Amino acid sequence: MPASPTSSIFSKTSTRTMSISSSRHDVHQDETAELAERGYFNENTAPAALERHTALARAFINEHAAFGRRVVLVTSGGTTVPLEKQTVRFIDNFSAGTRGATSAEYFLEAGYAVLFLHRQFSLLPYSRHYSHATDCFLDFLHEASDGNVVANDQYREKMVKVLRQYNSAKQQNLLLTLPFTTINDYLFELRVIAQLMRPLGPNGLLYLAAAVSDFFVPPERMVEHKIQSTNAVEKQTGKGKDKSDHTPGQDEEAFDNFDSSPEVPRSKRLIVDLDPVPKFLKNLVDGWAPEGMIVSFKLETDPEILVHKAQYSLERYQHHLVIGNLLSTRKWEVVFVTPQAKNEWVRVPRHRRKNALDGIEDMVGIAAKSAEVGYKPLEMGDLAEG
């Protein structure tokens, strides 16, 4: 049975002492967070899979809690922002789920049971080694003379290793994968799973690596059907025409999308009006899983603001660790921002950056191990580039 996580830098009390305050400002913030939560979860519809996923997550957590095993929730991949209720179009982001899937493997190796909340069809622990477009699994196999399919010699060792790890996790029921697609699915699932993890106390770790959209279309502004690029149907049938919205002269002619003029009239443009997604990290830290260990990620593209934003997030939400990364270098370097150590860069040495996957494995391994045993500057120093 794995040992309890050490408190070290992840000790809740050390961060909590800073947050215990009865100032009016804090009370106001708490009320605002509660209102935002109630508003969001009342006004938006729970995903169809939520009940089933809740039952699976509950059984998984209870099973491992009974053994005193640590459980980590790893969130992974991007969230979509649908533009229509019957969704044809949506906004997405870059995340393939590499960080999350890789981290999950390290957590399994470290003795955790892993609840893997991931964007549907993004990378999964273990299978990620063979499912990427540049690493098609068929390239690793050949047909032997007896008609059996076997692994090519040069890949066999690694394949056997990955296969054994995968089977071991499966046999011990250590990995539960739950998919989401939209930002709304993600928020509902995150809330329910975090709440289910609450009884685990510090044996529950939340490792929030998903790339979560900051903006969305609220339900009251989302159209039911596919957004049209011409008003031909509207002209013929009158369907979809909002009389109160009629501007004389504006839509008298059916338009098409082949407008050669760079000055496209407003009536022909698709103008997307997004609201900010409420920030629920405060609710998660204070209400959903107040005793859990919470690691969040911060992604930026501007190096000038990354550390500042990560520190701001840590101070504002009072959790245990923010791992900051830049889009362009996320596979090679991250910065750990903690209440105690402030910030510490972890880098994969340059000579090991040739292979992107190896690079990230090394680095995320350290991140995951740090989450397990506490922050170890020496170990990180070993990896840091000179």
The residues binding ligand PAZ (CB under 6 A) are 95-99, 209, 211-212, 297-299, 325, 330
Considering the complex, state which of residue 117 and residue 209 has its C-beta at the smaller distance from ligand PAZ.
209
Strands 342-347 and 333-338: antiparallel
Considering the complex, state which of residue 244 and residue 301 has its C-beta at the smaller distance from ligand PAZ.
301
Print the SS3 string covering 74-90. Answer: EEECECEEECECCCCCE
Cβ at position 360, least distance to ligand PAZ in Å: 7
Cβ at position 378, least distance to ligand PAZ in Å: 24
Among 205, 285, 323, smallest CA distance to 15 is for 285
Cβ at position 79, least distance to ligand PAZ in Å: 9
Cβ at position 296, least distance to ligand PAZ in Å: 7
Cβ at position 128, least distance to ligand PAZ in Å: 10
Judge contact between 302 and 333, C-beta under 8 A: no
Site of tokens 């491992």? 64
Q: How many residues does the chain have?
A: 386
Considering the complex, state which of residue 134 and residue 244 has its C-beta at the smaller distance from ligand PAZ.
134
The percent of the chain in helix, strand and coil, each rounded to the nearest 5, is: 45, 20, 35
Strands 333-338 and 275-276: unpaired
Q: Is residue 337 helix, strand or coil?
A: strand
Residue 96, token pair as written in the block:
């393939």
Cβ at position 212, least distance to ligand PAZ in Å: 5
Considering the complex, state which of residue 60 and residue 280 has its C-beta at the smaller distance from ligand PAZ.
280
**What is the greatest pairwise CA distance in the chain?**
77
Considering the complex, state which of residue 162 and residue 277 has its C-beta at the smaller distance from ligand PAZ.
277
How far is 185 from 53, CA to CA, in rounded Å?
Answer: 11
Residue 370 CB burial class (10 angstroms; 0-12, 13-18, ≥19): buried
Cβ at position 336, least distance to ligand PAZ in Å: 12
Site of tokens 């009390």? 13
How far is 214 from 316, CA to CA, in rounded Å?
Answer: 17
- Non-local CB neighbours of 108 within 8 Å, separated by 6+ positions: 114, 125, 165, 169, 174, 175
Cβ at position 309, least distance to ligand PAZ in Å: 9
- Non-local CB neighbours of 227 within 8 Å, separated by 6+ positions: 83, 84, 88, 89, 270
Judge contact between 94 and 211, C-beta under 8 A: yes
241: left (phi over 0), alpha (psi -120 to 50) or beta: beta
Considering the complex, state which of residue 95 and residue 182 has its C-beta at the smaller distance from ligand PAZ.
95
Cβ at position 97, least distance to ligand PAZ in Å: 5
